[in-house]
Protein backbone atom coordinates (compact mmCIF):
# COMPACT_ATOMS: atom_id res chain seq x y z
CA UNK A 1 0.00 0.00 0.00
CA UNK A 2 1.51 3.28 -1.05
CA UNK A 3 1.08 6.51 0.86
CA UNK A 4 -0.87 7.83 -2.14
CA UNK A 5 -3.79 5.60 -1.11
CA UNK A 6 -4.42 7.88 1.89
CA UNK A 7 -5.08 10.98 -0.21
CA UNK A 8 -7.76 12.13 -2.59
CA UNK A 9 -11.24 10.71 -2.12
CA UNK A 10 -10.14 7.83 0.09
CA UNK A 11 -11.23 8.12 3.71
CA UNK A 12 -8.38 8.72 6.15
CA UNK A 13 -8.20 6.59 9.33
CA UNK A 14 -8.21 8.49 12.62
CA UNK A 15 -6.55 7.28 15.82
CA UNK A 16 -8.87 6.37 18.73
CA UNK A 17 -7.87 4.62 21.94
CA UNK A 18 -9.27 3.34 25.20
CA UNK A 19 -6.84 2.91 28.08
CA UNK A 20 -6.90 0.51 30.97
CA UNK A 21 -4.15 -0.77 33.25
CA UNK A 22 -3.58 -4.38 34.25
CA UNK A 23 -1.33 -6.00 36.80
CA UNK A 24 -0.73 -9.73 36.35
CA UNK A 25 -3.65 -9.81 33.88
CA UNK A 26 -5.99 -8.23 36.43
CA UNK A 27 -7.67 -4.91 35.73
CA UNK A 28 -6.53 -2.27 38.18
CA UNK A 29 -7.57 0.96 36.45
CA UNK A 30 -9.88 2.13 33.68
CA UNK A 31 -11.98 5.21 32.95
CA UNK A 32 -14.84 3.60 34.86
CA UNK A 33 -12.76 2.74 37.92
CA UNK A 34 -11.08 6.16 37.88
CA UNK A 35 -14.54 7.75 37.89
CA UNK A 36 -15.53 5.60 40.86
CA UNK A 37 -12.42 6.67 42.79
CA UNK A 38 -12.95 10.34 41.91
CA UNK A 39 -16.56 10.10 43.05
CA UNK A 40 -15.45 8.56 46.35
CA UNK A 41 -13.05 11.46 46.83
CA UNK A 42 -15.72 14.01 45.88
CA UNK A 43 -18.56 12.58 47.99
CA UNK A 44 -16.45 11.13 50.83
CA UNK A 45 -18.73 8.09 50.57
CA UNK A 46 -18.49 4.80 48.69
CA UNK A 47 -22.27 4.48 48.85
CA UNK A 48 -22.85 7.94 47.37
CA UNK A 49 -20.12 7.44 44.77
CA UNK A 50 -21.73 4.19 43.64
CA UNK A 51 -25.19 5.78 43.56
CA UNK A 52 -23.92 8.66 41.42
CA UNK A 53 -22.85 6.07 38.85
CA UNK A 54 -26.08 4.04 39.19
CA UNK A 55 -23.89 1.22 40.45
CA UNK A 56 -25.00 -1.12 43.24
CA UNK A 57 -23.00 -0.52 46.42
CA UNK A 58 -21.93 -4.17 46.59
CA UNK A 59 -20.59 -4.01 43.03
CA UNK A 60 -18.60 -0.87 43.78
CA UNK A 61 -17.20 -2.43 46.94
CA UNK A 62 -16.30 -5.58 45.03
CA UNK A 63 -14.44 -3.56 42.38
CA UNK A 64 -12.48 -1.66 45.03
CA UNK A 65 -11.64 -4.92 46.84
CA UNK A 66 -10.48 -6.55 43.60
CA UNK A 67 -8.09 -3.69 42.84
CA UNK A 68 -6.81 -3.61 46.41
CA UNK A 69 -6.10 -7.35 46.24
CA UNK A 70 -4.27 -6.98 42.93
CA UNK A 71 -2.08 -4.05 44.02
CA UNK A 72 -1.75 -5.31 47.59
CA UNK A 73 -2.50 -1.88 48.97
CA UNK A 74 -5.64 -0.16 50.26
CA UNK A 75 -7.30 2.41 47.99
CA UNK A 76 -10.04 3.60 50.31
CA UNK A 77 -9.99 4.29 54.01
CA UNK A 78 -13.46 4.13 55.53
CA UNK A 79 -14.58 5.28 58.94
CA UNK A 80 -17.77 3.72 60.29
CA UNK A 81 -20.75 5.94 60.92
CA UNK A 82 -22.47 6.60 64.15
CA UNK A 83 -24.42 9.80 64.69
CA UNK A 84 -22.30 11.73 62.17
CA UNK A 85 -22.38 9.04 59.51
CA UNK A 86 -19.30 7.43 58.08
CA UNK A 87 -16.83 8.65 55.54
CA UNK A 88 -14.54 7.20 52.91
CA UNK A 89 -11.36 8.79 51.66
CA UNK A 90 -8.80 7.79 49.07
CA UNK A 91 -5.45 6.66 50.37
CA UNK A 92 -2.28 8.37 49.13
CA UNK A 93 -1.66 5.24 47.03
CA UNK A 94 -5.05 5.62 45.29
CA UNK A 95 -4.40 9.31 44.63
CA UNK A 96 -1.02 8.50 43.10
CA UNK A 97 -2.54 5.71 40.97
CA UNK A 98 -5.14 8.17 39.66
CA UNK A 99 -2.47 10.79 38.98
CA UNK A 100 -0.39 8.33 36.94
CA UNK A 101 -3.45 7.05 35.09
CA UNK A 102 -4.43 10.62 34.23
CA UNK A 103 -0.92 11.28 32.87
CA UNK A 104 -1.13 8.23 30.61
CA UNK A 105 -4.64 9.23 29.53
CA UNK A 106 -3.35 12.69 28.58
CA UNK A 107 -0.53 11.26 26.47
CA UNK A 108 -3.00 9.04 24.65
CA UNK A 109 -5.47 11.92 24.24
CA UNK A 110 -2.72 13.92 22.55
CA UNK A 111 -2.60 11.22 19.84
CA UNK A 112 -6.36 10.82 19.46
CA UNK A 113 -7.91 12.44 16.45
CA UNK A 114 -4.64 12.48 14.56
CA UNK A 115 -4.75 11.02 11.09
CA UNK A 116 -2.97 7.75 10.49
Domains in the chain with CATH codes? 16-111 (1.10.10.10)
Read off the pLDDT of residues 93-115 as tens digits, 9 standing for 90 and up. Answer: 999 999 999 999 999 988 888 77
Give residue 9's region: left, alpha or beta (phi > 0; psi -120 to 50).
alpha
Q: CB neighbours of 93 closer than 8 A, spacing ≥ 6?
A: 71, 73, 74, 75
Q: What is the mean pLDDT of residues 20-44?
A: 96
Read off the pLDDT of residues 46-84 as tens digits, 9 standing for 90 and up. Answer: 999 999 999 999 999 999 999 999 999 999 998 887 666
pTM, to two decimals: 0.81
Q: CB neighbours of 63 closer than 8 A, spacing ≥ 6?
A: 33, 36
Confidence check: pLDDT of 37 > 60: yes
Amino acid sequence: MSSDNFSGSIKIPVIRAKVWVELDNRLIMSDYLATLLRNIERTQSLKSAAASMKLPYRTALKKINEIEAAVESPLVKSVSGGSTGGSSKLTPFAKELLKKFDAVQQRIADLEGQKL
